[in-house]
């Protein structure tokens, strides 16, 4: 039970000042840690998006980078994940570019892994998800394409031929692609492939 009259305003303000003064050392540690963490992460990932301000240094997200045809396609070493998406785009000026979803250059690794499980799920037999991904890719292109093909990619491990590093038996030869659908740039229609063509 409180005894005596309630404290006057001056006393209350004094207590508030004392509390704020005592709060400052408490805040110094997390603020210092935050500043150090920010500097370290900026030094480690200079091209990454600023998580606090949400600014994007580039128009196309780097987990959706368009690569040149024939680049080695990597995927996560995590157990059980061996599917991802490949798209081939026929541009208006006659070029053909291909890319993967996700791009293996995404950093840090934890971020890549999260997109990798999404890519693995999208490479499964989910026709609606294929259409979503196709729309997502199309919305982020600098100009409308004439045509786009979307593939599900899976690693096919031939254990006999991959037991030793013989020439011509590397991982690049073990990739299997299945066409999921086509986007027609003239009619602007996404045409999924029938069930027999989808990834199992």
Partner 1 sequence: MRPPLAIGRDALSAWLGFWFGGVPPYGLLALMRIGTALILLYVLFVRAFDLEAQFSDVLWSDPAKLRAIDPVAWPFSIFNWVDGTWWLWSIHALAMVVATAFLLGVLAQFAAALSLAFQLSYVHHNPIMLLGVDALLMLALAYLTVAPSGKALGVLGRLAPDKPVYPPYLAYLEERQSRGVWGLTWVGLPVRVMQIHLCLLYFQSALGKLSTDWLAGTALWHPRLVPLGVPYSLETLQAQPHLTSLITYGLLLFELLYGVLIWIPALRYAVLCVAVLVHLAVGFAWGLLPFNLMMIVLNIAFVPARHLEELVRLARPLLTLPWVTTEGRH
Footprint on this chain of partner 1 (rule: CB under 8 A) = 22-23, 25-26, 29-30, 37, 41, 48-49, 51-52, 54, 61, 63, 72-79, 81-82, 104-105, 107-115, 117-118, 121, 124, 126, 128-129, 132-133, 135-136, 155-157, 159, 162-165, 170-171, 174-175
Shortest Cβ 38–partner 1 spacing (Å) = 10
Shortest Cβ 94–partner 1 spacing (Å) = 29
Alpha-carbon distance 54 to 50, whole Å?
A: 5
Q: Between residues 104 and 149, which has the closer beta carbon with respect to partner 1? A: 104
Q: Between residues 12 and 27, which has the closer beta carbon with respect to partner 1? A: 27
Strands 189-192 and 175-184: antiparallel
Residues 96 and 89 sit within 8 Å (Cβ to Cβ): yes
Q: Between residues 53 and 186, which has the closer beta carbon with respect to partner 1? A: 53
Task: Check whether the bond before 167 is cis (ω within 30° of 0).
Answer: no
Q: How far apart are the first and last CA of the chain?
A: 72
Three-state DSSP at 189 gives strand
CA–chain centroid gap for 51, Å, is: 14
Shortest Cβ 49–partner 1 spacing (Å) = 5
Q: Between residues 96 and 105, which has the closer beta carbon with respect to partner 1? A: 105
Q: Between residues 39 and 136, which has the closer beta carbon with respect to partner 1? A: 136
Shortest Cβ 152–partner 1 spacing (Å) = 14
Residues 121 and 155 sit within 8 Å (Cβ to Cβ): no
Give the CA count within 13 Å in the CB-facing half-sphere of 4. Answer: 2
């Amino acid at each position: 039970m409180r005894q005596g009259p309630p404290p006057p305003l001056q006393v209350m303000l004094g207590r508030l000042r004392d509390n704020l003064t005592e709060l400052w050392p408490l805040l110094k540690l997390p603020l210092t840690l935050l500043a150090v963490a920010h500097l370290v992460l900026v030094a480690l990932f200079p091209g990454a998006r600023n998580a606090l301000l949400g600014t994007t240094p580039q128009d196309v997200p780097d987990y959706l980078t368009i690569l040149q045809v024939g680049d080695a396609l990597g995927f996560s070493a995590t157990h059980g994940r061996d599917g991802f998406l490949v798209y081939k785009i026929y541009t208006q000026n006659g070029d053909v570019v291909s890319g993967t979803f996700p791009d293996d250059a995404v950093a840090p690794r934890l971020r890549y892994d999260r997109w990798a499980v999404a890519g693995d799920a999208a490479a499964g037999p989910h026709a609606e998800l294929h259409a979503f991904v196709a729309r997502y890719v199309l919305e982020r292109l600098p100009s409308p394409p004439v045509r786009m093909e979307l593939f599900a990619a899976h690693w096919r491990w031939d254990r006999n031929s991959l037991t030793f590093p013989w020439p011509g038996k590397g991982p690049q030869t073990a990739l299997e692609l299945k066409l999921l659908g086509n986007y027609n740039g003239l009619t602007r229609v996404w045409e999924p492939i029938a069930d027999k063509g989808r990834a199992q």
